[in-house]
Amino acid sequence: MNTTPRNEITRQIESAAVVAILRAASDQGLVLACRAMMLGGLKIAEVPLTTPNALQVISQISNELSGQVLIGVGSVLDADSVRRSADAGAQFIVSPTFKPEVLEASHKLGLPCLPGALTPTEILTAWEAGADIVKVFPAHRLGGPAYLRDVLAPLPHIKLMPTGGVRLDTLGDWFDAGAVCLGVGTSLIRTDLVQAQDWQALTEHTRAFVSAVEAARQ
């Protein structure tokens, strides 16, 4: 069970600026992939519940990489999933949508909640309900970074994490638009390298991605 204060976990997510989404059709190799990415500088990872045996993967990462990788759970749709994820060792909760019961269950357990929203009304509703960071999803569908910039013009106080379609070559654009962090999937955790079990190459790829993030935020 998580013992780190919620605001400290949120601060760590913002500081790292990248949440790696370990979404896969199989749980095979995900723990080793996470370890390889950690060696490349990865600090925050999320395992969606749509991944086979997601809770077991979260538990293993929580046990084996404790203090090295902050592990969260994604695709959470109900309060029971929040509780089961917390029991498995998840330290933050991510959802593709905003549901009050998910936010309330997360905060009751002391976990940050990053609910998904897209329109300005959805984003503001999630934020005013207490979201620690609002996940803008799918971020690339309504104009990419330009859309994020337009949303933040009248709502500059809201912390946004664009997710969906975030690539290495657009990192700087998202940060320039006002993102506090990015949710990144296949462009970071490359399925070809995981399937080939080329952990060294995955470490090097992650290192290059992390370096690009650091450069983009300067």
Does this model's pTM top 0.85? My answer is: yes
Specify if 153 maps to a domain: yes
**Which domain does 130 fall in, by range?**
6-216
- H runs (alpha helix) in 69-170: 79-88, 100-108, 120-129, 145-152
Residue 2 pLDDT greater than 80, yes or no: no
Q: What is the pLDDT of residue 143?
A: 87
One-letter amino acid identity for 54? A
The β-bridge partners of 129 are none
Give the pLDDT mean for 59-72: 96
- Count up the domains in the chain and report the number: 1
What CATH number did the domain enclosing 103 receive? 3.20.20.70
Specify if 1 maps to a domain: no
Give the residue carrying structure tokens 């500088």: 41
